Amino acid sequence: MNTITRTDFTFPGQKNLYKGKVRDVYNINDKLMVMVVSDRISAFDVVLPKGIPYKGQVLNQIAAKFLDATADIVPNWKIAVPDPMVTVGRFCKPFPVEMIIRGYLTGSSWRTYKKGALEICGVPIADGMKEHQAFPEPIVTPTTKARDGAHDEDISADDIIKQGLVSEEDYVLLDKYTRELFQRGSEIAAQMGLILVDTKYEFGKIGDQIYLIDEIHTPDSSRYFYLEGYQERQDNGEQQKQLSKEFVREWLISQGFMGQEGQKAPFISDEFANSVSERYIELYEKITGETFVKADVSNVLNRVERNINAFLADQH
């Protein structure tokens, strides 16, 4: 399977390489970030042992499209997409928090609520809500941005400001941008017959200017429901039909894996990896309204390296 599960390139002007769960980010002279979106897949903060064909291309191309579709709300880091799996952008100093926004009570928020919690990240939640029910208005539930394999931790807006993670002035803007981006994402999703359920945004700064960074509105950072039949399924107490990575989490749970200490990730067959790939491609087509064109992966590492080098050479 011609997937990228790791990269170790050396580019002119390269200062360092940061490897995230899915992305390898090359710092070029503190000026540019070259982000290679690998085919790695993570769940429960654990990177699974096999790559998913075309996953990196799907994520990179969806993110590029939505960065362009929201650039009027807040400037973003993207400069160019020199390869289907690569975005090159401005080097920003990231804020150490992720801005998570939820339109519906689902996923981890539902799991927390079900245990009796009536607030998340300092935001009160009404009693008696059902799974997958819409909040009266979207709620922002930030997390700290964990380094090196640790789990992200829920945190309230007050604590973010109190701990000096983000200044009050900046946090007000992050909250505003998060809500406006989610509103735009929800409108675009609705046109495609989808509901944007929840998502996360990351921001950084260059000087005094805030930029939207990383990926947005992809199946790795967002959850989508099908709009058609949503209310009917809710009324009947049925599970919602969703396009997200949740089905991978559900499969892992069924294999007895939840990323807890001492647990070993289950074996992933080629057949399962291909079925995950098909789901990602389906999501791409559903969310963008475009047919997915598979890039040539016969020598994928060489292709990616060649395209990045050609782009960097053009910058001089």
Domain boundaries, the chain: 94-243
DSSP character at residue 266: P
pLDDT band at 147 (very low <50, low <70, confident <90, very high): low
Name the more confident of 315 and 300: 300
Q: What is the pLDDT at residue 242? A: 85
The per-type count for the chain, helices as H runs and strands as E runs, is 8, 17
pLDDT band at 84 (very low <50, low <70, confident <90, very high): very high
* Alpha helices, H only, 151-266: 157-162, 168-191, 230-235, 246-254
Q: What is the pLDDT at residue 1? A: 65
Residue 241 has pLDDT above 60, yes or no: yes
Assessment of whether the complete model's pTM goes beyond 0.75: yes
Give the pLDDT mean for 231-257. 91
Residue 150 has pLDDT above 70, yes or no: no
| Residue 246, C-beta contacts closer than 8 angstroms, at least 6 positions apart | 107, 223
**How would you label 21-55 residue by residue, b for 16+ Cβ within 10 Å and e otherwise?**
ebbbbbbbeeebbbbbbbbbbebbebbbebbbbbb
pLDDT-above-90 percentage for the chain:
88
pLDDT band at 209 (very low <50, low <70, confident <90, very high): very high
Give the pLDDT mean for 235-259. 90
CATH of domain 94-243: 3.30.470.20
Q: What is the pLDDT at residue 316? A: 73
